[in-house]
Amino acid sequence: MLKAVNTPETDADPRPHAVVIGSGFGGMAAAVRLGARGYRVSVLEKLDAPGGRAYVFKENGYVFDAGPTIITAPFLLEELWTLAGKRFEDDIEMAEMHPFYGIRFDDGSVFHCSRDPEAMRAEVAKFSPEDVAGYERFMEKSRQIFEIGFEQLGHIPFHKLTDMAKIAPDLLRFSGHRSVHALVSRYVRNEKVRIALSFHPLLIGGNPFSASSIYCLISYLEREWGVHFIMGGTGKLIEGLAGLVEHQGGQVRCNAEVEEITVKDGRATGVRLTDGEQVTADIVVSNAEVGHTYKRLLSGAKRRRWSDGNVDRARYSMSLFVWYFGTKRRYEDVDHHTILLGPRYKGLLDDIFKHKRLAEDFSLYLHRPTATDPSLAPDGCEAFYVLSPVPNLDADVDWQAQAEPYRKAIEKRLEETLLPGLSDSLDVSRVMTPIDFRDRLNSERGAAFGLEPVLTQSAWFRAHNKSEDVKGLYLVGAGTHPGAGVPGVLSSARVLDSIVPDARVAVERADG
């Protein structure tokens, strides 16, 4: 894992200075794009290594990606390497997943999702032959939404209300007021097929029964570019991105937690670190979570759109309970990605998103990266990552007391279904709870994905990439437009190309 060296601000460099708060995918992508446009960039990271949610844990020869485990729309990454004058394939090796993942229902039946249209038709027919034609119509609708929502609008800023007015006809045409599950249900009748085609909002912190049907575009996005795994783990991308920043003459400073964004006359002037150090800047880009940026880092600044009250009234995504573990044996018959559903689907989601309570049952996402890259664990061993969607910290859950019983319940469920003998083969183990998302990652309410992706918090209604309250401040990351997930976060940095002035103009504005 890369551990960037903390170096002092380089006064000798004449380029205008951009400070980026946070070294997640959004922050690193923003840094590369700003570097390509003539800025000297300093990325400031609270943790001891870059990555944010894409941090890497290492223990006794095991390598665990803390956050994202799959890559879609890889062209967004390739573009960053090109901007830095490098070739993506020289630094990064990708493996395409066939199939993407298996959705294992509580009765043991499995729906395998893939990029192959014929294989997908066969999977639908396996569960419901009469739904094959409806599936084809749904995929055509997904393609249409993808072309508008992702290809045309995914990198376009929405900081003016007129921007929202322009897309209103498309929202109506694509039934954006409906939920993902509701739109899928218009095309297929079998409930298992409906689940297989509508679960995707959970990957970005949303409830399939309330997330806007715009997110149906994910189905076609996966078909268009596939689902990929990064050999060596997703952390290799963070290492590569940090290398690009340094290649451009920027720096990534770790153990550098920002306490405050400094503001003078309504304009961001830099940041103050928790150790008291002042870092001046011509522009500031925050990859910190939206609520943390406005409520904590700008606590003393005048704010209207993102006042403390508005931050508190926003809807936040669910959180996650994540268990990272290694086994002293191999499980060769387990897929690289498995979605293990429990006995309830909608009821469980209601508990998580509406009732804010920790249910006794759960649905799980099991990641077995050593299925593709055995080097991530010692010889003859496996590295695993299993996550369970749970309510954010609005729920009355004592995670210090509940973490181990909940982990044990997950262990029991895995042992009964996919990983026999798990208890006896455990080698290493660590967990992450909503408290870690709050305290380690500075996420408001311990939400794992920032703002919840509902229609009233999308496009113009989502946090703008150009701050409405502070000049010279820009935002990227999961809680900003266009949304969570690696493609959305990378696209949020892409938006900056349209709204951040070039380096020369930034200096003139700062001087003026």
CA torsion sign for 357, 361, 365, 370 is positive
Q: How far apart are CA 370 and CA 64, in angstroms?
A: 10
Q: How far apart are CA 179 and CA 198, in angstroms?
A: 9
Q: Where is average pLDDT lowest: 94-103, 153-162, 382-391?
A: 153-162
Ordered strands of the 473-475 beta sheet: 251-253, 40-44, 17-21, 283-286, 473-475
Burial class (CB in 10 A: 0-12, 13-18, 19+), 469: middle
Mean pLDDT on 362-379: 97
Question: How confident is residue 454, by pLDDT bands cut at 50, 70 and 90?
Answer: confident
Mean pLDDT on 33-54: 97
Q: Where is average pLDDT lowest: 43-52, 134-143, 495-504?
A: 495-504
Question: How confident is residue 13, by pLDDT bands cut at 50, 70 and 90?
Answer: confident
The dihedrals phi and psi of 398, each to the nearest 5 degrees, come to -90, 90
| Contact partners, residue 241, CB within 8 Å, separation at least 6 | 25, 28, 29, 31, 32, 50, 80
Looking at this protein, which amino acid is placed at residue 85? Answer: G
CA torsion sign for 54, 314, 210, 432 is positive
> Does the structure show a pLDDT above 50 at 511?
no
**What is the value of pTM for the model shown?**
0.92
The predicted structure's pLDDT at residue 255 = 98
**Could you tell me if 132 and 121 are in contact, meaning their C-beta atoms sit under 8 angstroms apart?**
yes
- Of the candidates 362, 359, 357, the residue with the CA atom closest to the CA atom of residue 394: 357
Mean pLDDT on 111-118: 96
Run of H or E residues at 507 = helix 503-511
The predicted structure's pLDDT at residue 508 = 55
Q: Where is average pLDDT lowest: 32-36, 54-58, 172-176, 182-186?
A: 172-176
The predicted structure's pLDDT at residue 506 = 55
